[in-house]
Structure 1
Amino acid sequence: MASSMWKLCRLNLNGNIGFFSCGQVRSGHHLRGRPPGVARSLDQVLAEKNYKDPAIHFRVDIGLPPPVHSRSKRLEERLRVFKEQRKNPALEKLARKKQLFIDLEETRKEWMKTVGPNHIKNISDHYGVYEHLFGDAYFYNRVPLSVTYDKDDGKIPVCYGNIIKPIETSKKPCVTYECEDNTFWSLILTNPDGHFTESDSEYIHWFVGNIPGNAIEKGETLIEYLQPFPPKGTGYHRLIFVLYKQEKELDFSSFKREGLCLDLSQRTFSTYNFYKNNKDDLTPAGLAFFQTDWDPSLKKFYHDVLDMKEPIFEYDFPPPHIRKQEWFPLRKPFNLYLDKYRDPKQINKEFLMRKMKNVHPFKEPPPPVPYPNAEYFEGYIPTWLKLEMRKSKLKWGRINDIE
C-alpha cells in the first residue's frame, strides 16, 4: 500500500468490527519522535549536555592548610569532659529544670575547630560564591571573620547568606579576626551581582591592604567603603567579604582610589584576576557574605550620593495579541468585544465618570435599590445592555477596580 499506516479489520467478541494499525498510535494520536523505550530521558540529555572532562575540570583547594589535630586525643578530651559533667549534680539539676544555659560563643569556637569550615564551604557552594569569584577553586574558612553592622538597638551580624537591607549597611562594618601580630592581611568586599555594564565583572565596595595583624584601622585603605546599592527589580545581591593572608607587605598602588570614589567604572573589579596576578603572595583565609535587595532608602542614595538617575529593571511583557476585527462576531458579548479595540484609558475614564456621577461633597449618595434583579426594563433593551445595567446596580465588574 502507498501509506505506511495501514489498518486491518477484526471482529470483536461482541460482534462489532474494530480497526487496529501497525503504526505508533496512543489514544487516537500518533506518537512524535522515538518511542519511550528508545528515546533518551531528560536526565540523560542534561548529563550529556553538562558533561565536563574530569582531567580538565577539577576543583583546587587554594586556601590555608588545615591545622594538625590528633582525632584520638580530641575524642579522649571530649569523653573526659562528658564524664566530669555527668558527675556534677548541679548541672543535672539545672538541666532537669530547663535552667542550664550554654555559652554560644564557646559553642561557635568549638564548631569552627571541628566541622564548621566544611559546613561554610557547602553553604558557599550552594550560593555559588566560589564559582563566581574563583572559578574551579575553593578554600576553607580557616580564619573566622566576625563582621557586624551597627544598629540603633544593637548589632547586625554578617553570617553566611543572611539578608541585610541597604539602609542597615550605610556605615562601615566592624570586622575582627584572630591572627598573629607579625603577619599582613588584606580585606576585600565585593559584589558579583550588581555591575551595570559588564555581566562578568564585580563592583568592589571596600579594599584594605597590608593590615598588620588584625588592626584594620592601621591598614592601607585603598578603596573607601561604599554601601550596597542593588537596583530595583534585580532581586538579591551577594556582598562577599574575603580575607587574604599576605606573605609579605605588597604594593597595591594600582588599586588606590582617591576619596570616596563615586565613579562606578573605577570600582570595576575581578576577584579571579586579582588572585591570579597575586597568587604567589596571597592566600584566601576567611569568608563571610550576606544578601541584600532594594529598599526605598536607595532612591536618595542614587540621587544625592551617586548623582545619577535611579535604575529600575522591569520585565517588558509583549502586548496581547488581538485578532483582526470581524463584522459579525458570533457568540461574543457586543460591548466586551468592542472594548478590545478601544483605548484602555478611555474605558477607565468612562467607568470613573459613571462612578463619580452620584458623588456630591455635601449630599449623601442615593440609597441602593432593594431588589435590583426584580426591576422591570421598559421597552426593548439588548441582552448585553441588560447585563451591564444589572452589573451596575449590583456593583459587579470593572467599576469596582476604579479608585
Structure 2
Amino acid sequence: MMACSFWKFSTHLNSKCSSTVVNFVRHGHHLRGKPPAVARSLKQRLEEINYKDPSLHFRVDIGLPPPVFSRSKRLQERLKTIKAQRKNPELEKLARNQQLLIDLEATNKEWVNTSAFYHIKQIADHYGVYEHLFGDAYFLPVIHLALQFNKDEIKHPVYFGNVIKPLDAMGKPEVLYSSDEKSFWTLIMTNPDGHFTQQDKEYVHWFVGNIPGNKVEEGETVVDYLQPFPPRGTGYHRHIFILYKQEKKLDFSKLKKSGPCLNLEERTFSTLDFYRERQDELTPGGLVFFQSDWDSSLTDFYHNTLNMKEPVFEYDFPPPYIRPQEWFAKRKPFNLYMDKYRDPKQINKEFLMRKLKNVHPFKAPPPPLPFPNAVRFEGYVPSWLILEKRKSRLRWGRINDIE
C-alpha cells in the first residue's frame, strides 16, 4: 500500500491510495496573543495606562528661584584647582598609596551651594513627595534644611528618605537653616501615608509659624509636636518637613490647636489646601523627609498616650486554589498530594498524637538523633515515607506547629 502523509487530520481517498492518515501533533508551548514584534511592550502599556493630557496636567514650579551661577566662571575655578593639584607631587604620592583624604565637610558644602536642590528634587519625585502633597506642582528646595533627632546622646539626622524609628523620634527635632533675621518662616511636618479615616488627607505632626529668621524656638507653635506612630503591618510611612518663606507675618489662629492635641481627627491636614489658601503669602523653599515603621514602643504610645486600641493591619490571603483530584497523580509526593484534600484538623491531630506517644509524666523524652541523616531506614520504606521521616527527624515543616 502506498504511504501518504499530511500535516492535518484527514482521510485521503482516491483511486491510487485509500487509507486514513493521521498526522502527529506536537503538544508543547503555544504562543498566546500577538507575536512579540506586533504586541505592545510592557513599557508601552504602562505609558498608555498612565497617560495624562499635557494640556491639563503639567507641572508648575511654585518655589523660590534657584541661585544663578556662571558656568564659565565655575569651570575656570575648577581648572585652576586641577592645575594647582597637578603641580603638587605630594597629592599624587598619597593617591597612589591610597592615603589621600578628602574633606567631606567642604565637599558637602560645595554640593549644597551648587546642585543639591536639583538632586533633592529627583529624590523627592522618586518617593512621590510632590505628587502626594502638591499634585502637579513642585519646588526646588533651595534652602538647605538640616534636622536631627537627639535620643540618649545619639544624633539621628533627617536626610531624604532615611529610616528613623518612632522610639528615636519621640521628641521634636533640632532645626537649622540659614536666613535673614528680618524674614518669617513656617515649618510643617506631615505624614501623608497614615490617616485612618480619610485616604487623601494627612496627619500634621508639627506646625510652627511666624518663625523669626532661623530661631524656631521663638516661632508660634500652631500644633504641638507628635511623634511618628505608623501602625503595625502598614510598612514605611513618609514624614515630610517643608519650610515655607512668608511674605509677612500671618494669622494662623484658625489652624491653632490647644495643648498636646492627642485627638487624631483634629490633626487632619491637607498640604495642597493649606498652600492654595495662602499661595500669595508663603512659598516653599526647604524640604527633608524620613521614613518610619512600627516598633514595640508604639504599643504603650497608643494605649497610654493616645488612649486608644493599637491598630494592627494584616493581609487577608485568599484560600489557595486546589485543582481537582486526579486518580493517578504523576510526579507528586504521595503524602503531600493526599494531604491537600484532607481536613487540616485531622492532619494536626495525627501530628499531635505522634508527639504524645513520646510524652510520659515521669520519664524524659528520648533525646534527638545527633546525626539524623546518617541513620539508616530498616527494611523496605517507600520514597514518600522516607521523605516524611526525614522531615520529622530534621524538624522541618508542619511538625513545628504542634510545639
Report the TM-score when normalising by structure 2: 0.81
1:354 matched to 2:354? The reply is: yes
Find the counterpart in structure 2 of residue 83 from structure 1: 83
Q: 1:302 to 1:394 in 2, by over 3 A?
A: closer
Q: Alpha-carbon deviation of 1:263?
A: 0.5
Written as runs of structure 1 = structure 2, the 5 A alignment for 1:2-401 is 16-20=4-8, 39-88=39-88, 91=91, 94-95=94-95, 97-320=97-320, 330-331=327-328, 337=338, 340-342=341-343, 344=345, 347-360=347-360, 363-365=363-365, 373-374=377-378, 391=389, 395=393, 398-401=398-401
Find the counterpart in structure 1 of residue 22 from structure 2: none
Q: Alpha-carbon deviation of 1:73?
A: 2.0
CA contact (8 A) 1:131 1:137 kept: yes
SS of residue in 2 equivalent to 1:19: coil
CA contact (8 A) 1:205 1:227 kept: yes
Name the % identity.
Answer: 61
Deviations 1:329-388 (A, max 9, x none): 9558699858845352x64344234313323465344589998743699xxxxx99x959
| Distance of 1:74 and 1:335 partners within structure 2 | 71
| Distance of 1:148 and 1:374 partners within structure 2 | 67
- Which one is further off, 88-97 or 174-183? 88-97
Deviations 1:54-77 (A, max 9, x none): 222111111111123222222222
| Distance of 1:26 and 1:338 partners within structure 2 | 34
Deviations 1:262-284 (A, max 9, x none): 10001111111111111001110
| Distance of 2:314 and 2:385 partners within structure 1 | 38
Q: Alpha-carbon deviation of 1:37?
A: 6.2
Q: Alpha-carbon deviation of 1:303?
A: 0.9
Deviations 1:146-196 (A, max 9, x none): 111113353111111111111111111111001111100000011111111
What is the count of residue pairs matched by the alignment?
377
Deviations 1:76-135 (A, max 9, x none): 223333333444455555545544433322211100122211111111111111111111
Amino acid at match of 2:313: F
SS of residue in 2 equivalent to 1:276: helix
SS of residue in 2 equivalent to 1:265: helix
Q: 1:107 to 1:322 in 2, by over 3 A?
A: closer
Q: Alpha-carbon deviation of 1:395?
A: 4.0
| Distance of 2:319 and 2:254 partners within structure 1 | 50
CA contact (8 A) 1:339 1:347 kept: no
Which runs of 5 or more structure 1 residues have no equivalent in the other structure? 1-13, 378-382
Report the TM-score when normalising by structure 1: 0.81
Amino acid at match of 1:161: G
Which runs of 5 or more structure 2 residues have no equivalent in the other structure? 10-24
CA contact (8 A) 2:151 2:169 kept: no
Find the counterpart in structure 2 of residue 11 from structure 1: none
